[in-house]
Chains A and B, each alone.
Chain A
Amino acid sequence: MRLERQVQRWQEAGIIDATTAERIIAHECRASRPVLLLAIGGLGAFTIGVGLISVIAANWGDIPRFVKLLAMLGLFGANAYGLVWARSQPHRWVTDALAVGYFALTLASIALVGQTYQLRGEPYQALLLWLVVGSPALWLAEGAFAAMVFLGALAVTGAYSFDPLMDLFGHDHRARILVRAGLGAAAVFGPLIVASLPALQRWRPAFAALYERLGWGLFVLAASCSVHVWYASIDTNDVREAWVGARVVLAFVALVLWRIQGLVSGPQADGLLPARALIALASVVTGLGVLMPHAPVAIVGALGFVTVWVLAAWCGYRVHMMQIVNLATAVIAARVFVAYVEVFGAMLATGAGLIVSGVLLLALAWLWVRKIRLQPGGSA
């Protein structure tokens, strides 16, 4: 409404004519991102889909099978017609909701066939078929909710497919390690690599933005956990196994270091160096921790963790995302305090720990005040 009033004022002032006013309003309606509406619409469609699956699970046995199958075809037809109709409507959320609904309906149809014909199969087979034939419908949507639904479906399918995939390799220990390493690396680096694809950024910018945010979050979380490998003792057997999977993980690290420029181009180009430093350093610290035998060296783990978050803060600082800097500052402060608890023991160690922790926290506060509060939007 605010836009319409403003456009009306411009029209009354003679700045634009009636045709231009209409075109501006139509363009803004189409291009605007009503996040709440998209979320509620998508959620509504998803809920209807889950409801349909539940009705099918209840197995309405009194209905002849051909009536049930034809009813499913009717639902497909109605939803498909709705999607074709919605493309010419100005409200994008309708298309998004119907696309998510179509995706859910695809799973419901596979479940219906399985139940109607008493087919005995593994759930992963149905889920894989669902992903293959249903995902193109999600591509019709433009909002981030559809991207999230796809990721959820992928995660569920992956979880159900993991054991059958492992069974496929039988007792081949090396192959099993390679698959585990590949899947783990794909889970951590996959969203970032996918978000860096130019086609995704051009055709579905909301998908790319969601996968990028999620990818960074996953990477920092994984890096924060993995550097703690230095808290454990690694023997030669562990190292031998780690070397088997290392080449797969290394390939992913190299790929993401190369593709990262697709994520931090343009106005975010300043973030390229810290982003690459973050990925490389976390990989090196974790890699050394699992690829060479060692006794527990807690200090390396703790420093590795702090370094990961310092580099995350540097990334946020360079791309002017002060929320990340604030979060990183808080996490580092908490970790410094935890580090003090870790060395708690004799009076001397406790005293030294308190002094070092206090100095570090004061340094952190000074850095935050000097460097961050002076930035635009950096007030906390």
Chain B
Amino acid sequence: MKSPTLQLWCALLLPIVAFIGLVGRAELLRASGPVFRVAIAGYDPRDLLQGHYLRYRLQWPAAEACDGATCCLCLQVSGVHTKIDCGATAAACEAQLSRQMVEQGREFFIQEDTGPALEQAIRRGQGAMALNVTPNGQVRVHELFIDGVPHRRWLRDNAPRQ
């Protein structure tokens, strides 16, 4: 076997280094803050290019403490999230999400045969998303919960796959 040249090493290692870098960055951001569970609403489109995913939005809590563009979502690990004015200092908040971040359409990749069951559960208001907020205010999604349990376990226990 010929000894690998510098060109060969570069060509072979570059994708692997990029892959490890992407994984490392994703792990770091995932661990960059406490994990919250936030209720969601959504539906299940299917995309030939991207596979199967649920499209959803985070939900505001029902209480109307504030309104308008300056309203933020105050997150607490206890799961009791509140609406607050973004400018107000709220010591109880462990993280805040701007209105834009809350109302942004999001996607959660799912296994291809689980779409209809999960879609129905989320329509019934059973869904919540476990997420953390990175230091620059971005959302990193961990897991989809249905009725308080990870969605894969919920599927195994409750919903026949279609």
Contacts and interface: CB of A to CB of B under 8 A. Distances in A.
A60 B114 CA distance: 11
Interface residues on A, range: 35 or more
A374 to B, nearest CB: 49
B62 interface: no
B141 to A, nearest CB: 4
Contact of A139 (B7, B16, B51): B7
A73 B14 contact: no
A61 B11 contact: no
A102 B12 contact: yes
B111 interface: yes
A118 interface: yes
A207 B16 CA distance: 25
Contacts of B110: 59, 61
Interface in A135-149: 136-137, 139-140
A119 B26 contact: yes
Contact of B112 (A58, A105, A123, A140): A58
A297 B92 CA distance: 75
Interface stretch (A83-91, A177-185, A219-227, A298-306): A83-91
B141 A118 contact: yes
A120 B11 contact: no
A69 B23 contact: yes
Contacts of A87: 1-2, 4, 8
A83 B109 contact: no
B63 interface: no
Which one of A58, A69, A117, A123 has the greatest number of beta carbons of chain B within 10 Å? A117
B30 interface: yes
Nearest to B30: A117
A252 B108 CA distance: 45
A110 interface: yes
Contact of A129 (B12, B18, B30): B18
Interface in B61-85: none
A120 B107 contact: yes
B152 A61 contact: yes
Interface string A289-330: 000000000000000000000000000000000000000000
A85 B1 contact: yes
Given A62-B152, A119-B26, A137-B15, A84 B49 contact: no
A80 interface: yes
B37 interface: no
**Nearest 6 Cβ contacts at the A-B interface:** A57-B51, A136-B11, A117-B26, A118-B141, A61-B111, A106-B15
Interface of B: 1-2, 4, 7-8, 10-12, 14-20, 22-23, 26, 30, 49-52, 106-112, 114, 140-142, 152
9 contacts: A57-B50, A61-B110, A69-B23, A76-B16, A84-B4, A87-B8, A113-B19, A123-B50, A139-B11
